[in-house]
Structure 1
Amino acid sequence: MLSSILAKAVPGKPAPTPAPRRRGAGSGLADRAALFDSARLAGDIARLAERQDLSQTELRNGVLARLRDALANGREEVERRFMAQKPGERIGEKTVRSLAFVMDELIRVLADFTTERVFPAGNPTLGEQIAVVAVGGYGRGELAPFSDVDLLFLLPYKQTPRGEQVVEYLLYMLWDLGLKVGHSTRSIDECLRQARGDVTIRTAMLESRPIWGSEALYDELEQRFEAEVVQGTALDFVEAKLTERSTRHDKMGGSRYVLEPNIKEGKGGLRDLHTLFWIAKYVYGADSIDQLVRDGVMTSAEKRSFVKSQDFLWTLRCHLHYLTGRAEERITFDVQTEMARRLGYTDHAGTIAVERFMKHYFVIAKEVGNLTRIVCAAIEAKIQRRPRLRLPAMPFRKRNYDGFVLDGERLSVPRPDIFATDPVNFIRLFHSAQAHDLDVHPDALLLIAQNLRRVDASLRADAEANRLFLEILSSPKGPERALRLMNEAGVLGRFVPDFGRVVAQMQFDMYHVYTTDEHTIRAMGILHQIEAGQLAEIAPVASEIVHKVLSRRALFVGLFLHDIAKGRGGNHSTLGEKVAMRLGPRFGLSDEETETVAWLVRNHLWFTAFAFKRDIGDPKTIQDFCEIIKSPERLRLLLVLTVADVRATNPAIWNNWKAALLRDLYYRADEVLSGEVSQAALASGQQNNARAEAAKSALRAALTDWEPPAIDAHLALGPTAYWLGFDADSHARHARLMREAALMEAPLLIDTRIDAHRGVTEVTICTPDHPGLFSRLAGAMAVGGASIVDARIFTMANGMALDVFWVQDATDGPFDQPTKLAKLSAAIHKAMSGELRPKQELLKRVASVPSRTRVFKVPPRVLIDNKASATHTVIELNGRDRPGLLYDVTRALTQLSLQISSAKISTYGEMAIDVFYVKDVFGLKVEHAQKLAGIRDSLLRALAEPGSAQSMEKRRKPTARAAE
């Protein structure tokens, strides 16, 4: 495809003769006069200028008003046409070219008026000549609805007084029209000098286009630019643009599969297409995609892909600008639903419209990636710098790599029929690249793209192909890079069609930040990092036990398949189990391995469900968890898989607190599954009684400065759950805090301790117990800016409440700033004294602070479980997260006369999942059907959005006096 490029790009070779640049942006547009009737506008302005009764200020204002009306009418007509056209009519391209045409015509009319009426010159000298040149994207003849207008005021020599007046008048008029104008005023020599030293300026000039003024002046610039800047610098330009592209991708998150993508600067966005065209244009002097096809830079199929992708992205960008009313480039969650509606997407086959829209976007972004990678990398490979001293090729350079060859440090194909004669080579290529730590050459990727249809049922059934693929998945070198290459090339989705169904699939929520395929591939990379010991500090238990796993291949395959059935309209865990049972034998797994993989897929969510939602200190939690897990090997497998899964879901959600919860659950379950603690002892409470006595003995030994009677009195205060819930150091701190409260007769004492290991701040509160205490404290902490992630509530035998909260700040880190801690303490004191009304303060916060979660609809849900604990009723609440939600639900629990013993507070993006262990006023489970129904109704009203019908119903119902 690019065989001739080397001759054209090597320094010293004559530069290709450039094709004439486009002189206008309106070619091909229908009814241009309806967009902007420049002749009529110019006539109106001429008649206005001829009036003798107008002052210069009145004339200027009159001209400005007419320009403003013409601009507004043109923009409205462009938007009307845009909204009226149907997808597939290249509406994006037509729109940006129409807007550029409107701007061209406006600038021409304004420039004519300025030079003929405001600063007339009968016979301007050569030095007074000027040209107005469009540069950058506007120079391409493309202008988004709210984009900047980039102009170059081109001079032959230095600035003249009249030229300065003309430029200043033009700019002030454009600014007064409300336009954002990026501008520069330079002579030809200045343009060339700056272009040589700055690649950004060089790129802008590469796409320049004259709008008004001296054609001869612009032609001189164009000819000298080609001769003095472009010629002989293709190597430098290509390297600079590819480096710039990599830097931009890193800045935008390094992946095209982020769920709030930047469609201009992000990976797979418009800028990638621009980069491709800049490079090809710089090397070939081409001014159109058709010319690149004629010159062999692109195939006809690649041209169609380019045009289709560019128009789709331009259409999205125009919708985004019109929808937000500004130059917005990110498809954020709050606009995705409306964008999907405007583009005509509907719910279908278990997938909502917005997810279908975003999947289409990611498919296009992937096509852009394929196109830019193949073309740009091929150009880079063809014109890469040669070393000053060329040594003879060494023998090892000709080494055969499983039938493939090395080309410029990248693995390539020795002949064009390699995939046709043996389709197993589709898999063998990536297997060999992984084994030898090599990248795949663009020529090989291009040949794959041309032969993808050969990845068919017969290849999927081939034993050797599946053996190689299984080795890729479980390679000690790590599968992430190979899988990503296979996915980008389109091989992975065709070889494993079930995986192809989740390619570019997104979930419309704030918890998952990658598409399903990207999440899976990242998880595979994290699993390799765990195994290699690279995450020993972040996930020490997983990094240790992964080497004790006996079913290593099952672990890697299980992780690869854990989300394989997402988007099918059912429980993806149970649906995925069936996929795993089918694919395991095909991949070459034994029956035992296949069953293990299927078990992992079916149960891969249980570890987080128990660790994040259940009270690990409750024996029933451990008992239920062990009933699911059943063996130490599966416990190890599931923990390692869970760590990789959670860390790959969203980089922001993994923290020390979640790591500690997983670690604690693992150790408690391992004691039972390994036989250290029997199921019978766990169920009967014998183990807990022994642990409680051991905790009391440890505290007695720690309180060396206390008299024995005082120790005995303190040990009699706490219930068994209290002694099981903390370590010896915590028990000692609590004892001293409670003693201090008794001696001082203080109504409230607060102790804070930063737990850096767990990434939380522990807040312990000692105060007389009373109904609604938890609700008040939760409200005060919300006002103080602290987010509760866990809580244990104890009423001691002397009537004092010892409530322990684990809190984090907005970044999911410890709440550790002294000023913040002081503010939190003050809020708690005010709430307890009645000075602070949490409800009112939180309502103010909701009204004043915009929340990105408001765009998501999370149906309120209340689950009441009397089997999850032997002693408590467990209530799980699901709803959209918002400031004050925890306060609202705990207030409702108080009004229901329920005692909260512990709480597990979790947030998954926009969704809050709060779990409470409660008892009734008699200290018993709540089991009466009517009472349970009342609890459910009250909590659903508490979960309802403020201002919703359900919330209004809540206000109308008589309730007990709120605990404020």
Structure 2
Amino acid sequence: MSWRFESIPHRRAIIDRRDLSDALIELGDDGDASIRRQRATQILKEALDKGRTEINRRLEANPGRGSEISASHAFLTDQILRLLFDFTTGRLYPLNNPTAAERLALAAVGGYGRGEMAPFSDVDIMFLTPWKQTPWGEQVIESILYTLWDLGLKVGHSSRSLDEMVRMAKSDLTIRTALLEARYVWGDQSLYDEATARFLKEVVAGNARGFVADKLAERDERHRRMGDSRYVVEPNLKEGKGGLRDLHTLFWIGKFAYQTQSVPDLVEQGLLTRAELRQFQKAENFLWAVRCHLHCVAKRPEERLTFDVQPEIARRMRYSDRPGMSGVERFMRHYFLIAKQVGDLTGLFLAHLDEKFAARSRRFGLPSIRRSPKKLNGFMLDRGKLAAPSDDFFSEDPVRLIELFHLADLHGLAIHPLTMRQAGRDIGLIDARVRRDPRANALFLDVLTSTRDAETVLRWMNEAGVFGRFIPDFGRVVAQMQYDMYHHYTVDEHSIRAIGLLGKIERGELDDDHPLSSAIMRKVVSRRALYVSVLLHDIAKGRGGDHSVLGADVARHLCPRLGLTPAETETVAWLVEYHLLMSSTAFRRDLADFKTILDFAEIVQSPERLRLLLVLTVVDIRAVGPAVWNGWKRQLLSDLYEAAEEVLRLGHKQTGRSVRIEVKQRNLAGELGWSAKAFQAYRKRFVDAYWIAETPDVLLRNAQLVADADAAGKSLNIATHVDPDRGATMVTVYAADHPGLFYRLAGAIGVAGGNIIDARIHTTRDGMALDNLLVQDPLGGPLDDPERLRRLVSAIEEAFTNRHRMAQRLSQRPLPRLRADAFTVEPNVLIDNRASNRYTVIEVNARDRPALLGSLTYALFQAKVTIHSAHIATYGERAVDVFYLTDLIGEKITSQQRLKTLEKSLLEVAGGKSLIPAKAA
């Protein structure tokens, strides 16, 4: 029996093996064996269901007792297996005179062997035989497995002789680890004991170093697969960094190296202190509680805490709302703090392990080296890692808590885990006096603006708790999740990653990804202000107001403390307050509209601010998570930067605009090779806005498409161009202009499985429409499969020839998006007649869903307005769609009654209502 079962109270209330054994005996020995097995299965099924019901009741009554609940499920499984084993070997296939080969032992392996199971965990078992399998053994094993499957259990099983067990354990790390946790369940005890002895002698003995190295390498690879951060907002609580598997790895290493049988035994071996054992058990208990609740909510063996289950688990675990933080945010913050604790424990455990092996001249680290205290200001090196020389070292001078990380960055040193623990223990020494200390602030600023690896050192500082203690405003966002589908990390992790990206751009490591930002960094004058603004841009999240404005106030108070000049302080405050300005302008506004550029430049005011804002915007977006940045966003930001830089350099004149148009037209004429007369006729068909809006490569493809259509007399011509640089596919449609054209286009592309991210809608002076639409697949990449592109073109052609069917297809109920449904996005419609001199600009905020754009464009079609451009942005579950509109005669919409009607219909669509009728002409 597992030592974990000792913690289970009133075990017979879960299952009473004696009563069940009597019930199985009462089945008698008469009749067909298969019928008796079916009757036994029914008895065991009722007992299993009753036991699970009792365990679930206990979980609901005491939602935080994870270790007890996980042990209870394993205990229940043990008893079912023992009853089944006895019934099968004693009643179905009894042996009066068994031979030496007809011995059988049943062992639990893996997590079940540890005595831990979640409600839907696999039952991992191993049947042990002394030698080659006998017919009797095959019958017994087959009957037991069929019964377990009939009970609805998912069984992971193996049947091995002693020799096979040893051979496979030597050759496979996974099997070796599973057998390391093997536990006797039932059957021939002496056979199991012999297997244990052979495993220890032939597999474990003398191989500790190799096993430890393999498990640590396996852990690192697992972390890499899971995102290599314990602060992802949808964590995998089993396999992710800071999850249960990290705790398991510590136990496996201790058990293999020192043959410990339980977690408390790690203390006896000096691998954990008593305090660390309590932390281990606290983290293990919490993670198991969450895992059990997750299985109950998902009703399957789910290990990922996705957004749609987080609120329900928070409710089940009784996390209530508090001012400034919802219950689910409090629950997830607790989760991240526990994950951090697991990381701390891992470092300390490995330090203890290093010490133990060092005593036996088998170190995992480097040989002990000591450097002159003068070079390290009193610190020392312990096997290559920076360490405090005494227990009272930080209390003698608390500024050393900052200096520790400064020296680690300066000399490229790792910090000894025991010194990290000491720093974490002593963070209370950082008080108002230390925060005001000029030396401490100078050391911190040096780390923050380091050209080496500020990201790593700041993360160490954060894990030790020093960061949040020295910068209390940062401490408020430590482990704070951003409860949306856009941000992948907690606020503190996001900020530290952004600083790391800034350092890589400055060092030239991301020149290919960010050529403009890399070039700009060489011109930046206010370097310190830029690094501090990256640190502080999200510092005020979770305070119940506009985090940009509140963050600017934090910057004005903090920057002078850090030693920044008044000018630098004002620059940081401005950058923090407007850190979303550039992305919102680039992604939600028409950059071909000169007023957009003028309004943006009027806020920015200086070329240096523009440079700083671009780099801040880039690292902010990149640090959100994988696959958020793409070539289209890079191009939009670059276009906005270049246009604003020209305005700031030349003033609010459109001189450069006309020059750009002339250059584009001259270059295009050279590329096409048309006659001067033919090109002049083509040029006059388009207004200036077209030449400004489109890039040279698009202008060339557009001209060829129009020429082909005119030559063939086609009223509809469609072209697609996969553009890896933009991370999208350009779909160009040349057709006779008519009302509702964009609605049909958007609907057709949606039906074909594409997402429009940007649309340039041009009308020629002779009544034709030329629309350039950037389209991505549902995963945010270009549509590049030839068959999908063919279906896309067919869908567009059908939309123009069979309007009735398109309306019907758009009116069909869209597929549910369960993860997005976990969030509430209040629909909002903003109408702005000042953002453009020519157009009415309407911005719609809504929860993203299939066919949203089609429904919105249909509402605009019904309102009898003309769409001139559309800009579609998604931020996780939130969609922000912006339309530049006029009435049917090309004028701004100024009637207040008409604007109110338009707002009402768009709000209805944003709220989930479809205005598309089942049958529409």
TM-score under structure 2 normalisation? 0.95
Specify the alignment match of 1:317 in structure 2. Answer: 291
Give 1:612 deviation, angstroms: 0.5
**Equivalent residue for 2:761?**
793
Does the C-alpha gap of structure 1 residues 836 and 276 become closer, same or farther in structure 2, counting only changes over 3 Å?
A: farther
Task: Give the deviation of 1:152 after TM superposition.
Answer: 1.8
Look up the match of 2:790: 822
Counterpart Cα distance in 2 of 1:703 and 1:155: 81
Q: How does 1:88-127 map to 2 (within 5 A)?
A: 91-127=65-101
**Over residues 400-429 of structure 1, what are the superposed CA-to-partner deviations in whole Å (9 max), with x where a residue is unaligned?**
433222222222222222112111111111
Matched ranges for 1:637-716 at <5 A? 637-674=612-649, 677-679=650-652, 681-682=653-654, 688-689=657-658, 691-692=660-661, 695-696=664-665, 699=668, 704-706=673-675, 708=677, 710-716=678-684
Query: Which residue is equivalent to 1:945?
Result: 912
Q: Cα 1:474–1:393, aligned 2, differ >3 Å: closer, same or farther?
A: closer
Residues 775-801 of structure 1: per-residue CA shift (max 9 Å, x gap): 001111112222211111122221111
Q: Determine if the alignment matches structure 1 residue 763 to structure 2 residue 731.
A: yes
Q: Which AA in structure 2 matches 1:910?
A: E
Q: C-alpha separation between the residues in 2 aligned to 1:648 and 1:701?
A: 42
| Partner of residue 776 from structure 2, selected from 808, 819, 824 | 808
| Residue 62 of structure 1: aligned partner | 39
How many angstroms does 1:576 deviate by? 0.5
CA offsets 1:833-875 (integer angstroms, 9 cap, x no match): 016733433455723x655323222111100011111111110
Deviation at 1:533, TM superposition (A): 0.9
Write the distance in 2 (CA, Å) between the matches of 1:234 and 1:729: 62
CA drift at 1:909: 1.2
| 2:540/2:548 contact within 8 Å kept | yes
Contact 1:827 1:836 in 2 (8 A): no
Alpha-carbon separation, structure 2, partners of 1:878 and 1:398 = 60
Instruction: Quote the offset at 1:213 in angstroms.
Output: 1.7
Q: Provide structure 1 residue ranges, at least 5 long, that are not aligned to the other structure.
A: 1-21
Aligned partner letter, 1:293: V
Task: Report the more deviating stretch, 24-33 or 915-924.
Answer: 24-33
SS at match of 2:308: helix
Cα distance in 1, alignment partners of residues 56 and 537 from structure 2: 45
Assess, with a 3 A threshold, how the Cα gap between structure 1 residues 813 and 200 changes in structure 2: closer, same or farther: closer
Is the contact between residue 399 and residue 405 of structure 1 (CA under 8 Å) also seen in structure 2? no
Query: For residue 45 of structure 2, what is the amino acid of its counterpart?
Result: R
Aligned counterparts of 1:64 and 1:321: Cα–Cα separation in 2: 24
Q: How many Å apart are 1:121 and its aligned residue?
A: 2.0
Please list the CA deviations of residues 437-464 of structure 1 after superposition, one character each: whole Å capped at 9, or x if unmatched: 1111122112223323223322222211
Share of identical aligned residues, percent?
50
Identify the residue that residue 18 of structure 2 maps to in structure 1.
39
How big is the shift at 1:773?
0.4
Could you tell me how far apart the structure 2 residues matched to 1:811 and 1:32 are?
49
Do structure 1's residue 233 and structure 2's residue 202 form an aligned pair?
no
- Find the partner of 2:476 among 492, 501, 504: 501
Note the C-alpha offset of 1:316. Answer: 0.6
The residue number in structure 2 matching 1:157 is 131
Q: TM-score, normalised by structure 1?
A: 0.91
CA shift in 2, pair 1:284/1:742, >3 Å: closer
Q: Compared with structure 1, are the counterparts of its residues 557 and 23 closer, same or farther at alpha carbon in structure 2 (3 Å cutoff)?
A: closer
Matched position secondary structure for 1:133: strand
**Cα distance in 2, alignment partners of residues 752 and 376 from structure 1:** 56
1:634 Cα shift?
0.5
Counterpart AA for 1:313: L
Is the CA contact 1:75–1:99 (under 8 Å) kept in the aligned structure 2? yes
Deviations 1:800-822 (A, max 9, x none): 11112122223433333322222
Deviates more, 1:528-537 or 1:784-793: 784-793
- SS for the counterpart of 1:802 is strand
Q: What's the counterpart of residue 152 of structure 2?
A: 178
Equivalent residue, structure 2, for 1:593: 568
Q: 1:507 to 1:729 in 2, by over 3 A?
A: closer
d(CA) in 2 for partners of 1:446, 1:701: 69
User: Which among 331, 346, 350 is matched to residue 376 of structure 1?
Assistant: 350
Report the alpha carbon displacement of residue 111 of structure 1 after superposing the two structures with TM: 1.1
**1:76 aligned onto 2:50:** no
Structure 1 match to 2:820: 853
Q: Counterparts of 1:165 and 1:755 in 2: how far apart (Å)?
A: 62
Write out per-residue CA displacement over residues 597-630 of structure 1, whole angstroms, 9 at most, x where no aligned residue.
Answer: 1111111111101111111111111111111111
* Cα displacement (A) at 1:165: 2.2
- Cα distance, 1:747–1:200 mapped onto 2, change above 3 Å: same
Q: Which residue of 2 aligns with 1:17?
A: none
- Asked if the contact 2:2–2:115 (Cα under 8 Å) also holds between the matched residues in 1, the reply is no
Query: Who is 1:359 aligned against?
Result: 333
Q: What corresponds to 1:884 in structure 2?
A: 851
Q: For 1:216-273, what per-residue CA distance to the aligned partner results, in whole angstroms no more than 9, with x for missing partners?
A: 2223333443344333322222222211111111111111111111111111111111
Verify the 8 A CA contact 2:369 2:382 in the aligned structure 1.
Answer: no
Alignment of 1:294-373 (within 5 A): 294-373=268-347
The answer to whether the 8 A contact 1:256-1:267 is kept is yes
Would the alpha carbon gap of residues 23 and 355 (structure 1) be closer, same or farther in structure 2, given more than 3 Å must change? closer
- Is 1:895–1:962's contact at 8 Å kept on the other side of the alignment? no
How many residue pairs match? The answer is: 919
Q: 1:205 to 1:752 in 2, by over 3 A?
A: closer
Relative to 1, partners in 2 of residues 1:801 and 1:603: Cα closer, same or farther, differing over 3 Å?
same
Matched, 1:427 2:396: no
* AA of the residue aligned to 2:885: V
Q: What is aligned with 1:722?
A: 690
Bigger Cα displacement from structure 2, 279-288 vs 457-466: 279-288
Relative to structure 1, the CA distance from residue 216 to residue 587 in structure 2 (aligned partners, 3 Å threshold; closer, same or farther) is same
For residue 838 of structure 2, the aligned residue among 868, 871, 876 is 871
Mapped contact 1:206–1:282 kept (Cα < 8 A): yes
Q: Once the 2 structures are TM-superposed, how far is the Cα of residue 828 of structure 1 from its aligned partner?
A: 0.8
SS of 1:751 mapped into structure 2: strand
CA distance 1:146–1:651, change in 2 (3 Å): same
Q: How far has the Cα of 1:160 moved from its partner?
A: 2.9
SS at match of 2:719: strand
Q: Which amino acid aligns with 2:831?
A: I
* Letter of the 2:16 counterpart: D
Q: In 2, Cα distance between the equivalents of 1:795 and 1:748?
A: 14
Letter in 1 for 2:381: L
Aligned residue for 1:334, secondary structure, equals coil
Question: Any idea what SS the aligned residue of 1:649 has?
Answer: coil
Partner of residue 242, structure 1? 216
CA contact (8 A) 1:656 1:757 kept: yes
1:891, 1:963 within 8 Å by CA — same for their partners in 2? no
Match for residue 406 of structure 1 among 381, 384, 393: 381
1-side partners of 2:409 and 2:584: how far apart?
Answer: 36
Q: Which residue of 1 aligns with 2:741?
A: 773
Q: Is the CA contact (8 Å cut-off) linking 1:279 and 1:376 kept in structure 2?
A: no
Q: Structure 1: how far apart are the matches of 2:410 and 2:507?
A: 16
Aligned equivalent of 2:172, options 174, 183, 198 = 198
Q: Is the 8 A contact 1:381 1:408 kept in 2?
A: no
Residue of structure 2 equivalent to 1:30: 9
Q: State how far apart, in whole Å, the 1-side matches of 2:779 and 2:372 are.
A: 51
- Cα offset for 1:44? 1.3
| 1:85 partner amino acid | N
For 2:872, give the aligned amino acid: I
Cα pair distance change 1:704/1:203, threshold 3 Å: closer
- DSSP-derived class of the 2:841 partner: strand
Match of 1:748 in 2: 716
Aligned equivalents of 2:62 and 2:781: distance in 1? 49
* Letter paired with 2:47: A
Report if aligned partners of 1:901, 1:918 keep a CA contact under 8 Å in 2. yes
Aligned counterparts of 2:104 and 2:778: Cα–Cα separation in 1: 55
Structure 2: gaps spanning 5 or more residues: none
Equivalent pair of 1:541/1:663 in contact (CA under 8 Å) = yes
Q: Is 1:868–1:874's contact at 8 Å kept on the other side of the alignment?
A: yes
User: 2:346, 2:63 → 1: CA distance?
Assistant: 28
TM-aligned CA distance change 1:788 to 1:765, over 3 Å: same
In the alignment, residue 65 of structure 1 is paired with which amino acid? Q
Residue equivalent to 2:512: 537
